[in-house]
Structure 1
Amino acid sequence: MLNYNHLRYFWVVAREGHLTRAANMLHVSQSSLSAQIRKLEHQLGHDLFERRGRGLVLTEVGQIAFEHANEIFSTGDQLLRRLNKDADDVRHVLRVGALATLSRNFQISFLRPVLGSKSVEIVVRSGSLADLLGALEAHRLDVILVNQVPLRDSATNWTAHIIDQQEVSIVGTPARVGRLRDMSKLLNEHPIILPTADVGFRNGFDALVERLNIQPEIIAEVDDMAMMRVLAREDIGLAVLPPIVVTDELTNGRLIEACKLPNIQESFAALTLKQRFPNPALDALLKGVRE
């Protein structure tokens, strides 16, 4: 029969991707943890991990074993939560991944319903899309927040939930914008701060200026919305971005929205795995979005 204690040790190591962290979490020595995993590998007849640098990466068989282990232990957690649904000390950990360049205001807006909740602990990690998707597929994240939905194919096992669609505007300091609201004059007469080409709405902007035969002076191309916010605030030029990025500055008057760009929007989405037992905290957030 399968030794479920060995399986649990393997599951924790696979989830953490690091032997030392897993050993500390399980309160066992690294040598003992390694021995337990070797016994599981011997029983299954396959290696479950391969070393890459200082980390551990699942083999193909390891990924299969992890998926089964995740379902087994998630089922156990569901059982405990169901039997203790009225207990005050039930806490859910919500592990959120966000693109390093994503608007912090958007992240806060999405997480606001659970911020400060005594029943939810939030862990937020930022990184590249490739790294975050890898962590999602390895079940080390519950959700990824993005502003551009990546292409899918028949092998894709995640689902994209569109959370919001924001119109894109030209914003700048009151001194620079003044009373000017004409889009063409704004783009022709002032230096422009743009996102890089890999940001979702950049293609729409490029098509717009080409259609209008405008050649704006691009003073900066930035892949970080927080940096665009700073450059606009420092009056380096006019910034092209969704107003949610500069909510605070628009509220206190340091920046103003000169005009909206026609038919250009940025989509914000949450990527999740298709799971039989989704994280209850995440499920509540997505339900709120749908409603």
Structure 2
Amino acid sequence: MAAMNLHHLRLFRAVALEGKLTEAARQLNLSQSALSSQIRMLEATLGHDLFERQGRRLVLTEAGRIALDHAEAIFRTAEDLSATLRETGRNRRALRVGALATLSRNFQMSFLGPLTGRGDVEIVLRSGSQAELLKSLEALSLDVVLTNLPPSREGETPWMVHSLADQPVSLVGTPARVGPVTRPLSALLATEPLVLPAMDTALRASFDALASRLGVVPRIAAEADDMAMLRLLAREDLGLAILPPIVVRDELAQGLLVEAARLDGISETFLAVTVARRFPNPLLQELLSRAHPAGNPETLTAPLP
């Protein structure tokens, strides 16, 4: 087989994604005949037809689908190499971190703490939805995604899921609301208004199961899917909030909030999601080794959202 021309492979990918030779040629600033000739040369090199025509569209053959999968992997690796080597020789290295918008800021800072303040490190933080962040991770524009939502196991993208911390969860409120006398958990849940995580969160599901076991119908003062908002609502004394103490670490230290009760059997798991890379960011490896020195990440196969 003749040596493969990566230029031809790039043109093939453009046609495969567009589905029309004319549109791909316009995008690539080539004539349609020149592009068609280049595709035929690639097919001759590979020994297989890559497209078949269905109406006005070009549809990938089985060989074409295999070729596109490999082309995507080749160009992702090239982009990864380019991004990594651009950092070589620079005084400052970058770590690109995506964090779920609703994730505890205190936890994020605890995870990144070993790198903060270092003159040779630039930390680039981006928040967003799980779907947005995983797409950026797949495209290698992020090194890691911090989340409390495990990616789906379905699909073909292998996420590497690192368990960073398993934080306890408590009822937290102002000293005035909690009072000086310790009250049983069932009494607190039955008498005090509550600030709860949103219905579609794992933490809320765990709390609802606990309330059901105790035979308590909670008085809901507010719901929020954002840890920062739960923290603010607790400080404003709308009720007792269900959240990990790490979220209100500063308020607990200052006495603005206190723990009324620990919710035994309920915890919040914080995760770091990565993808396998030929050139992993050494800054990320440093953080992961500190957070989880002895274990290996679990590999989940998950779809692009």
Amino acid in the other structure paired with 1:168: V
Structural mapping, 1:244-263, within 5 Å: 244-263=246-265
Q: 1:66 to 1:116 in 2, by over 3 A?
A: farther
Which residue in 1 is equivalent to 2:53?
A: none
Deviations 1:226-281 (A, max 9, x none): 11111100111000000011011001000001110010001000000022321111
Q: 1:197 to 1:64 in 2, by over 3 A?
A: farther
- Alpha-carbon contact 2:76-2:139 (below 8 Å) kept: no
Residue 173 (structure 1) aligned with residue 174 (structure 2)? yes
Q: Secondary structure at the match of 1:158?
A: strand
- Alpha-carbon contact 1:92-1:280 (below 8 Å) kept: no
C-alpha deviation, 1:164, in angstroms = 0.2
What are the ranges of 5 or more consecutive residues in structure 2 without an aligned counterpart? 14-24, 43-49, 51-64, 294-305
CA distance in 1, matches of 2:152, 2:72: 25
Residue 133 (structure 1) aligned with residue 134 (structure 2)? yes
Greater Rg by CA: 2
Q: Secondary structure at the match of 1:170?
A: strand
- Alpha-carbon contact 2:151-2:159 (below 8 Å) kept: no
CA distance in 2, matches of 1:211, 1:245: 26
CA distance in 2, matches of 1:145, 1:63: 28
TM-score where L is the length of structure 1: 0.75
Which residue in 2 is equivalent to 1:271?
A: 273
Which residue in 1 is equivalent to 2:106?
A: 105
TM-score where L is the length of structure 2: 0.72
CA distance in 2, matches of 1:117, 1:36: 43
Which residue in 1 is equivalent to 2:237?
A: 235
CA distance in 2, matches of 1:71, 1:227: 40
Which residue in 1 is equivalent to 2:75?
A: 69
Q: Aligned pair count? A: 247
What are the ranges of 5 or more consecutive residues in structure 1 without an aligned counterpart? 11-33, 47-59
C-alpha deviation, 1:125, in angstroms = 1.1
Which residue in 2 is equivalent to 1:18?
A: none
CA distance in 2, matches of 1:3, 1:136: 26
CA distance in 1, matches of 2:236, 2:114: 33
Which residue in 2 is equivalent to 1:160?
A: 161
